[in-house]
Amino acid sequence: SRRWRRLARRTWAGLKELYLRKNLLLSCDFESIGLSKNPNTYSNRILKNCGKYLTKLTIDEFGTSTALYLIGQYCPNIVSLSVKYQTFKSGSMKFLSKLEKLEDFSIGAIETSTIEEVLQFVQTQNLCKIRFSALLNSDNVVSLPSNART
């Protein structure tokens, strides 16, 4: 039993890049692997096991902004992060302040107010690239901080 636990830990430790997508999770038979039918339970378990080893994470159209909290909680070594959602709850970008190694951040399908929140919480010195796409309410103008490179 201990031997299998060690092997499982080594397997998770070997995972450096992860791509979670909605279609993959919706096609999964959750009950057969002992999980509820809620994809967030699935993502929680995956990120809890391999999050500290991940350096690159892509989440495409994946459920709710709860996953953002999980990233901040379990993925301190993320260097590249790409997320795409329909809506974000106010305050959901706080997780960014925990990602000190983040160099590349891409966020899609967002409202203009989300951009302002992202810029408020991005504190990392290492950040080289930040991309916003598919702006909703794009008639609003967002001003970048004076120290931002364009």
Question: Could you list the pLDDT tens digit for every one of the 150 residues in the chain?
Answer: 788 777 777 777 777 888 877 654 444 444 444 444 454 566 777 888 888 999 999 887 655 566 778 888 899 999 999 987 656 677 778 888 889 899 998 887 666 667 777 877 776 678 888 888 765 554 544 555 555 555
Cα separation, 95 vs 88, whole angstroms = 12
| DSSP state letters, the chain | -HHHHHHHHHHHHT--EEEEEHHHHHTS-GGGGT--S-HHHHHHHHHHHHGGG-SEEEEES-S-THHHHHHHHH-TT-SEEEEE-S---TTGGGGGGG-TT--EEEEEEEEHHHHHHHHHH---SS--EEEEEEEESTTS--PPPTT---
Amino acid identity of 6?
Answer: R
Q: What is the CATH number of domain 2-136?
A: 3.80.10.10
Among candidate residues 78, 16, 137, the one with its CA nearest the CA of residue 68: 78
State residue 69 phi and psi, 5-degree precision.
Answer: -60, -45
Amino acid identity of 24?
Answer: L
